[in-house]
Structures are given as structure tokens and as C-alpha cells.
Chain A
Amino acid sequence: MRPELKNFKPFTMKNLPQYEGFAQGHRACQGCGTVLPLRLALKVLGPNTIAVTSTGCMEIISSPFPYTSWEVPWIHVAFENSATVASGIEAAIKALKRKGKIKSKEKINIVVFAGDGATFDIGLQWLSGALERGHDFVYICLDNEAYMNTGVQRSGATPFGAHTTTSPAGKVIKGQTTWKKNLMGIVVAHNIPYAATANPAFPLDLMNKVKKAALINGPAFIHVFATCPTGWGCKSEDSLLAAKLAVETRVFPLYEVIDGKYIINRKIDKPKPVEEYLKLQRRFRHLTPEQITYIQQRVNEEYEKLIKLAECFGEEKTETKQNQEE
């Protein structure tokens, strides 16, 4: 157990933070499952936080000058480089504290919010550099599985078979032809102290992971499954249902990797068929029964791999109580 997490007190429904770091009136779509985890994360991090956001939906919906949704100091520089901007902020705070130019000794949280394009694709090198150098910051990837801001183009995070405007369901080629990039695997390979997956349909789990990530000294990474009714073609009111089904079908398992040790937060012993998840979304409506069978098989395989990782490199207790929420 890492010393930072020794006396960890998880959030419960009774002690949620009152603080809001993200103001109402932003321009996100109805049912946006990306802005919700962002808001929850800021609630946890509190006012003593500096946020960096990559170009993307969360940047444009929050900062049309002269309006801003950000109650914390916030910077947007470019698409790919938020991890490095955060590196600079962290280094500056370190140097300025050491030289007495920042008087407060309290830890300032540095958090990055970046989409899947900014993380899986264009910003992977910047993320890798920042993780390898060991800066003390939290990187939250809000993965809505395509370039939604520019009109739903495929990314390395787009799931197999999904229709996007650059992986259209054509007559010959039916949607995304590749499996989703294993970003967690890449991140974990950097041997950082904390990496986790989270999902807005499991808000307490998500908030506790943000809290842990902030407590950890060194880089912490959270891969958040972020639903997008607009890009996925699901009803706004089904946004969180889709998110929940992604976990219950094993499409997006919830787990943590602390110092290389895998902890499955929510074991899914009786998974729902992936079809239940897929049929909610228009981006999958063209799928053939064969494609669905393939997806089901691959999802099972990937889940089994994860279970094996947890068995080989896990802690004894694989399920934590805090996640008994619906």
C-alpha cells in the first residue's frame, strides 16, 4: 500500500463535497457524459487546483470569451500538449515554492482534462514524456471514443465496428476496422504509481479514484469512459445507461493499477450480452450478427486477460467495498 493512501477515507453518499469547480451554463450537449465526470472530478479536487485542458469539446463548451465555466485557474494551450503544459506548471510551482516566491505550503493539484484524440492519438508522445519524467499531476482522459468536437471522426479509441464520419458504415467496409487501442496498457508500462479506469455511471468510484490520484505523489492517470449521445446516436436520457452497460457487459471494466498491482474494482461474473450495450447506439446499428459475435468474443478475451493480470499482479483483495453503488 502506498503511504499516501494509507488512511484513505472514501467518499460516500453522505460526505460528498459541496464544492463546484465547474459553473453551470456551459454549452455541452444534453446528456453529455463527458462534462459530468469533469464536474465530479473538480468537486473532488477543490479550489486549490490548476486545470489544463486540451483542445476539444470540453475546451470549447467552457470558454467562449468572455464567458468561462472554470472556477479554478485554467489554461488551454493546444491539442496535444496538455501533459507537458502541466509539466511546466508543476516545475514552476516546485521552483517558486523552493525560492519562497509561492508562500503557501499546501499542495496545489494540477489536473489535465483531455479527450481520447488528444490522449490516444495526437498527444500520446507528450503524455508519455510527462509520465516518464514523473511529474506530480493527474491526467484525466475523457474518452468519448471519437473526435466529437470536429464532427465525429474516428480515433484510436473508437471501438471496433463503430460508424464515424471517417470510418463510415459503407457497403464494403462497415465501420471502424480496428480494436480500441489499449491505452491503459501503455500508461501502466510507464510504471507510474497510479492508473485507473472510471465511468460517470459509477460516480462514487470515479470520485474516489480522483481523490486517490490527487493524493498520490507522482503522475496519476484516469481513463474515463465518457458517453456522447450526439456522436454515438443514443438518446440523451440513455447516456448514463449506456455508460452503466459498458461496465456490466465487460466492454469497459473498472480497475486500478497501483504501483503495478491490478485491482478489479467491480468483477462482472454474470455479464450482460454486449448486444444490449450496442443496440442503444446508432453507431453500431449496421453491425452484422458475425461482427457482434466477434465483439462478444473479443470482449470476453480482454476481460479474461485483465482478470489474469489481477491474479498475477494483484493484491489479495480484488473488490473494494466502496463500489457497492448503482
Chain B
Amino acid sequence: MAKKIAKEVSVAVAEAVAQCNVDVISAYPITPQTHIVEHLAELVNNGELDAEYIPVESEHAAMSACIGAAATGARTFTSTSSQGLLLMYENLYIAPALRLPIVMALVNRSVSAPISIWNDHSDVMSMRDAGWIHTFAENGQEAVDLIYHAYKVAEKTLLPVAVNIDGFILSHVVEPIEFLDQTLVDKYLPPLKMKYKLDPKKPITIGAIGVPEIYTEAKKAQDEALKASYKTIVQAWKDFEKLTGRKYLPVETYQMEDAEVGLVIMGSLAENAMNAVDILRTKGKKVGLVRIRLWRPFPLKDFIKAIGKVKALCVVDRAVSHAATGGPVGIEVRSALYQSNKRPRVLNLIAGLSGRDVTKEDFVEIFEKTFETLAKKPSTPYEIYGVKE
């Protein structure tokens, strides 16, 4: 086993990308993604990574160049945040539809206005329906491991993968990271061989017009591919576990076996939530935590299994879906429950917008609020938590 090294998570992510022997990197700087792309530029310019680095003039161009490069058979990488993701937007739909295995580190940040550089999930939720595979990291080690995993999955499924990393809270902290030995990376990740690509020896047409007679079928095929990617994703984690001993599942649980009240969350805040679970458990409260690691394709069965026999759930969203029936995760969870026979009370709170701290004390309070729903149904479909009155 390789030893643990203290690294800033952004730098560690960049090094994992480099270990994946990426061919083309195309990126535009935006806070808090910058340290990732800066470190990659350094690696390329120091001759430590044999790749083309395209310093594009916008994020839309970053994704455009990745699309061109991936269509030519290159292993590609980009990274962005917030407004950058929104500027990429139309390409976010085109990349999966053209079945291109692009990997993006999405360093999550709130969306303007008001302009803010701090963390929440407003940016990623805007691309929820674009057709990407999405994973969410809880800590630095996971961010790094999800990068290796992303390439494995992207290239097996021919779908783009976004690895979501909370801005600052995760991207800018120094954590002990255990990298894979290069030989293990090479074993895990064979060279990319695309059957269909832009090759003058075997000309194909990519990006043709979909007339009404075939558009539906094209979308159905794309949808099936994303659904079917679930198996590949899980298998890639199993393969990873065999190499490293580190186990990853689509949905993680903590103290859920006998939990009466559960909390559902994605990303790095889960660590604070776990602390709150520990505090409440010492007081004899049966609480637990469900963390969704795989957001798309949504792991419906895993999720339903993970919530066990809870009587109430609190879904903590990190983004607002204005005037909807919940936050994006809240809506997803309620819809998922309707696919099962389980009917826990669902409290949906939107918390931690734009880097607002959600401390373990806050999570204790959130759990207490969730206990209250056992006696009385929540009066509104969702609530923004911690608003200063």
C-alpha cells in the first residue's frame, strides 16, 4: 500500500488526473477550481505529464475542445465551477448525446446573483438532466478515488462523468491522501480505445440532424445507456476495492440499521452530519445518515434499501429549485419513495447555501426538527434553513 501524503485536495485531484495519463486538458480558470487546472498546467510545462493543455478563452470553449478531442479518441479532462458551468451549458447536453467519455471535476459553487464564490450545489443541479454520470465526494481521498473511477466508467460506458467536489470546504483543505501506485492505475485503467471516432481511415459522421422520425429513438438509446451505466459504475468500484481495499457504494449509510429518523445529504457536509448522529446516539436517539454518492444514474434500489425502516427523513438540499415542491434532492427522494411502499415523513431543508456553515450543532437541530414531523406533518414542502430574520 502506498503511504498517505498531505496534499491540498485540488492538487491531489490534479495529480490523479495526471496519473490517468490524460491526453488533452482544456480549461478556463474560475474560483474555486483554479488550483486543479494550475497544477495540471505546471505538470505539463515541467514535462511531468505528456498532454496537450489548451488554455481556452471561456468555459464554453473548454467543453467544446474536450468534445473535439474526445471525438478524436483522446482521454480528456476539464474542470469548472458555478458560472463557468453555466456558460458551458449547451455543450453539457451535447457531450453525453454524442457519447463522449469526458471527465470533469466540478468544484461546486453557488450561482450568481448575488455573485458568490462559496460552496453549494446550485451549479451542478442546473445540469441534472443533461445526461452525465454524477458522483459526489465527501472527502479528499474520495475525490481522488472518484477521478480514477470516473475514467474507468466514462470509457466503458462512453458517457461523460462529473466528479462533484465541494468548493473550498473540500477543494482547498489539506488532507492525507493515499494515491494509487502508477502500476495499479495502469492496471485499473487500460488505454482508451474508441470504436467510433474521427479517423480519416474510417470516416464517420458525428452530430447529424435528428429529424422527428429518429429523435425519440436517439434519446431512448441515450437514456438506456445512462441507466445501464449503473452496473459498470458499481463494478468499477468493486474492481477498485480489490486493488486498494477502499470500498465505495452508490449510497452510503451510517447508523441506519435501527434508525427511526434519517438524514439524506450529498457531498462533504455528511461528515458534520455524522458527528451529529454520534452526539444524538449517545443520548439514545435512533438517528442515522444516508449519503448519496451516485446522483446520476439515480440508484433507486440502493436508496430505498438504505433508508431502512425510518419513520421520518430529512433531506438536506444545497440548492434551491425556486417555488418547486422541494429542493432538487428532496424532489428526487419523494419521487423515489413513491416507487416503493415506504412512506416516511419527509422534511426538506435547504441549507448551506453559498458556503454558510452547517455545523454539527445545526445538524443536531435539524434532527430534532425531523423528530417533530413524527407528530406533525411539515407545513410546507420545503424550507430554507438558518435564514436570519
Closest chain B residue to A132, Cβ basis: B57
Pair A87/B200 contact, Cβ less than 8 Å: no
Is A86 touching B23 in the complex (CB atoms < 8 A)?
no
B214 CB, min distance to chain A CBs, angstroms: 6
Q: Is the CB of A73 within 8 A of B65?
A: no
A271 interfacial contact with B, CB 8 Å: no
| Distance between A186 CB and nearest chain B CB, rounded to angstroms | 15
Task: Given A84-B61, A88-B65, A88-B72, check contact A76 B208 (CB 8 Å).
Answer: yes
Closest A residue to B93 by beta carbon equals: A78
Q: Does A11 sit within 8 A of B, measured CB to CB?
A: no
For residue A5, which residues in chain B have a CB less than 8 angstroms away from its CB?
Answer: none
- A88–B64 Cα gap in the complex (Å)? 7
With A88-B66, A92-B68 as known contacts, state yes or no: A70 contacts B74, CB within 8 Å.
no
Taking a contact as CB atoms under 8 Å apart, the answer to whether A75 and B74 are in contact is no
Partner of B65, one of A49, A50, A68, A91: A91
Interface residue? A233 (CB, 8 A)? no
Residues in chain A near residue B68, CB distance under 8 A: 52, 75, 77, 84-89, 92
Q: Which residues on the B side are within 8 Å of A93 (C-beta)?
A: 72
Known: A48-B200, A77-B94. A65 touches B210 (CB 8 A): yes
| Minimal beta-carbon separation of A48 from chain B (angstroms) | 5
* Other-chain contact of B61, A65, A66, A92, A129 (Cβ < 8 Å): A129
B293 in the interface, Cβ–Cβ < 8 Å? Answer: no
Tell me, in angstroms, the Cα distance from A125 to B23 when the chains sit together: 25
97-150 of chain A: CB within 8 A of chain B: 98-99, 101, 108, 125-126, 128-129, 132-133
Question: Which A residues lie within 8 Å of B200 (CB)?
Answer: 47-50, 72-73, 108
Q: A63-B209, A78-B64, A92-B23 are in contact. Are A73 and B58 (CB under 8 A)?
A: no
In Å, the complex CA distance between A77 and B69 comes to 12
Task: Chain B residues near A86: list those with CB within 8 A.
Answer: 68
Q: What is the distance, in angstroms, from B99's C-beta to the closest C-beta of chain A?
A: 12
Tell yes or no: B24 within 8 A of A by CB. yes
User: Cβ of B203 and Cβ of A95 under 8 Å apart?
Assistant: no
* Surface stretch bound by A, among B48-56, B230-238, B274-282, B284-292: B48-56
Residues of B within 8 A of A95 (CB): 23-24, 50-52, 74
Q: How large is the interface on A (under 10, 10 to 19, 20 to 34, 35 or more residues)?
A: 35 or more
How far apart sit A170 and B170, CA to CA, in the bound complex (Å)? 59
Which residues of chain A are near B211, meaning CB under 8 Å? 64-65
Given contacts A72-B200, A89-B198, contact A84 B209 (CB under 8 A): no
A60 touches B209 (CB 8 A): yes
B42 within 8 A of A: no
**A74 interfacial contact with B, CB 8 Å:** yes
Does A71 belong to the interface (CB within 8 Å)? yes
Instruction: Say whether B214 contacts A88, CB under 8 Å.
Output: no
For the complex, is A94 an interface residue (Cβ under 8 Å from B)? yes
Known: A72-B203, A78-B90. A92 touches B56 (CB 8 A): no
Give Cα distance in the complex from A92 to B26, angstroms: 11
Q: Which residues from A are CB-within-8-Å of B50?
A: 95, 98-99
Interface presence of B204 (CB below 8 A): yes
User: Does B46 count as interface, using CB distance less than 8 angstroms?
Assistant: no
Residues of A with C-beta under 8 A to B51: 95
Residue among A52, A72, A85 with the highest chain B CB neighbour number at 10 A = A85
Q: Which interface residue of B50, B58, B64, B214 has the most chain A CB atoms within 10 A?
A: B64
| Interface presence of B71 (CB below 8 A) | yes
Q: Select from chain A the residue with minimum beta-carbon distance to B196.
A: A73
Whether A101 lies near B191 (C-beta < 8 A) is yes
Question: CA A68 – CA B206 in complex, angstroms?
Answer: 10
Q: A50-B198, A101-B73 are in contact. Are A71 and B203 (CB under 8 A)?
A: yes
B47 to chain A, nearest CB (A): 12
The verdict on B341 contacting chain A, using a C-beta distance below 8 Å, is no
How many angstroms between the C-alpha atoms of A114 and B197 in the bound complex? 21
In the complex, the chain A residue whose C-beta lies closest to that of B61 is A84
Min distance, Cβ B56 to any Cβ of chain A, angstroms = 6
CB-CB contacts below 8 Å: B59-105 with A: 60-61, 64-74, 76, 90-91, 94, 98
Check if B210 sits within 8 Å of A125, measured CB to CB: no
A63 to B191, CA, bound (A): 31
Establish whether residues A133 and B64, one from each chain, have CB atoms under 8 Å apart when the complex forms. Answer: no
Most buried by A among B24, B65, B69, B210: B65
Closest A residue, CB atoms, query B26: A88
For residue A49, which residue of chain B has the nearest CB? B200
Restricting to B170-223, which residues have a CB under 8 Å from any CB of A? 191, 197-200, 202-211, 214
B57 contact set on A, CB distance < 8 A: 125-126, 128-129, 132
> Is A197 on the interface with B (CB-CB < 8 A)?
no
A81 touches B (CB below 8 Å): yes
- Asked if residues A96 and B64 are in contact (CB atoms below 8 Å), the reply is no
Nearest B residue (CB) for A59: B209
Q: Contacts A65-B210, A70-B205, A73-B198 given: A81-B91 contact, CB under 8 Å?
A: yes
Q: A63-B205, A88-B74, A96-B23 are in contact. List 19 more A-B contacts (CB 8 A).
A: A50-B72, A65-B208, A65-B209, A68-B208, A74-B206, A75-B68, A75-B206, A76-B207, A77-B68, A81-B61, A84-B64, A87-B64, A87-B68, A91-B26, A91-B69, A92-B69, A92-B73, A92-B74, A108-B200
The 8 lowest CB-CB distance pairs between A and B, nearest first, are A88-B68, A129-B57, A88-B65, A92-B74, A76-B207, A85-B68, A88-B69, A92-B72
Q: Which B residues are within 8 Å of any A CB, using their own CB?
A: 23-24, 26, 50-52, 54-58, 60-61, 64-74, 76, 90-91, 94, 98, 191, 197-200, 202-211, 214
7 A-B Cβ contacts within 8 A?
Answer: A60-B209, A73-B200, A74-B205, A76-B206, A87-B56, A95-B24, A133-B54
